[in-house]
């Protein structure tokens, strides 16, 4: 299993540009989520999904869209990038059915800089 994969690893955008951060998992996990981590800070939840076709907002959803058309993929779209969105973005997944309530697997992160 590849686990949770994220692309790209690094990205530089200009203010106003849009882009999509990709996240995929091959563990058949129902739950997927996106976090951002600013320098020296903890992780903040952006959006999450408990299954295909179901998404919900986290703590800091403004400026981001998500969709979940398949179990495997959970892309995060930045609508109009702003310098305040400069951060490291982590995608994560874990199983929630059948009594599974344990390990959340994280991707390696995407380091985004908005100029």
Contacting residues toward another protein, per CB under 8 A:
31, 33, 35, 41-45, 48, 50, 56, 58-59, 90, 92, 96, 101-109
- CB neighbour list of residue 40: distance below 8 Å, 6 or more residues apart: none
- Return the number of the residue (74 or 90) whose C-beta is nearest another protein: 90
Q: Kindly state the smallest distance separating residue 16's Cβ from another protein, in Å.
A: 29
- Return the number of the residue (14 or 98) whose C-beta is nearest another protein: 98
């Amino acid at each position: 299993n590849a686990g949770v994969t994220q692309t790209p690893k690094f990205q530089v955008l200009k203010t106003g540009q849009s882009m999509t951060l990709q996240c995929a998992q091959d563990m058949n996990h129902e739950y997927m989520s996106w976090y951002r981590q600013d320098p020296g800070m903890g992780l903040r939840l952006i959006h999450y999904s408990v299954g295909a076709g179901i998404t919900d907002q986290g703590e800091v959803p403004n400026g981001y869209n998500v969709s979940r058309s398949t179990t495997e993929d959970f892309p995060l779209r930045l609508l109009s990038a702003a310098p305040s969105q400069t951060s490291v973005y982590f995608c994560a997944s874990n199983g929630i059915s059948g009594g599974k309530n344990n390990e959340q697997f994280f991707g390696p992160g995407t380091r985004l800089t908005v100029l």
